[in-house]
Amino acid sequence: MTGTVILADELPRTDEAPKGQAIAAAPGAGLSRVDVPKGLWTQCPKCQATVYQKALEENLYVCPEPKCGYHHRIPARIRIQQLVDPDTFEEFLPDLASTDPLKFKDRMSYQDRLREAREKTQETEAIVVGKAFIRGRPTILGVMNPFFIMASMGAVVGEKVTAAVERATDENIPIVIVTASGGARMQEGMVSLAQMAKTSAAIARLDDAGGLYIVLMTDPTTAGVAASFASLGDVHLAEPGSMIGFAGPRVIENTIKATLPEGFQSAEFMLQHGFIDRIVHRSALRTEIARIIDYAGK
């Protein structure tokens, strides 16, 4: 599939461009329309600039445009590659998969929705957990995948988070969880809501044992996840511009019958009001997490 790109006539002429690449019009010829392969360019949701996909990837999926710096959502595996030392991530519970306790169906069955998400993401569930090294520091790491049913929390996500926290407790090493979730998974009903208490209890045991728990909130961290394990860290970091909160802004406005302040539920707003400890650019996350681990003596 191809898309249409408008080329400015001041660009240099490339008559010998390889097949599939753009050829600009000669000076004075005005604008020309050419077809380019889909996926070669992407549009930034914030500044609306058209960005070369390769440049975006090389910039850790942060918009390279000056004065923008929008942090794009990224899959769990890419996040892991960005955070951990090369070839140190050892995943556990990779085959743990959701069942359908309620036989739930909306416009499609829950089983079909799970199958669709697995095919799309090549993951079995909305979180990946394992042990790794971050700048040489041993760490238990959990990373949520915003592309798997919006990283909603069902029984498997709750079990994986709990298992990761318990392993960090047993091995007395820090745990880092990267959150990116729309909240509890409605297709699992009360089973999903019970994961809030389950994960919180595991974190309480970690705290009693003197463990270190670092939360990295990314866009979005909301609802049941924000109200449970995402808000119980010893240190809370966030990426710039991330949405962080419980209910959506429209729901809150309709409930309290008031206009919300500008930037409400953004990471910057949360930092200003003491909900998070620090906003960290994606390029500095590895260094910042390692610094916190060292500072805590872990």
pLDDT at residue number 34: 55
Confidence of residue 260 (pLDDT cuts 50, 70, 90): confident
Read off the pTM. 0.85
Model confidence at 135: pLDDT above 80: yes
- pLDDT confidence tier of residue 15, bands split at 50, 70 and 90: very low
In the predicted model, what is the mean pLDDT of residues 168-181? 97
| CATH class, range 76-295 | alpha beta
pLDDT mean across residues, the chain: 88
Share of the chain above pLDDT 90, in %: 77
Q: Average pLDDT in the 99-122 region?
A: 93
Region 18-29 average pLDDT: 42
Q: pLDDT tens for residues 54-75?
A: 999 999 999 999 889 999 999 9
Asked if pLDDT for residue 268 goes beyond 80, the answer is yes
Domain boundaries, the chain: 2-58, 76-295
Is 207 a residue whose pLDDT tops 90? yes
Question: Above 50 in pLDDT, residue 285?
Answer: yes
pLDDT score at 35: 62
The Cα–Cα gap between 177 and 202 comes to: 14
Q: Determine what percent of the chain is predicted with pLDDT higher than 70.
A: 88
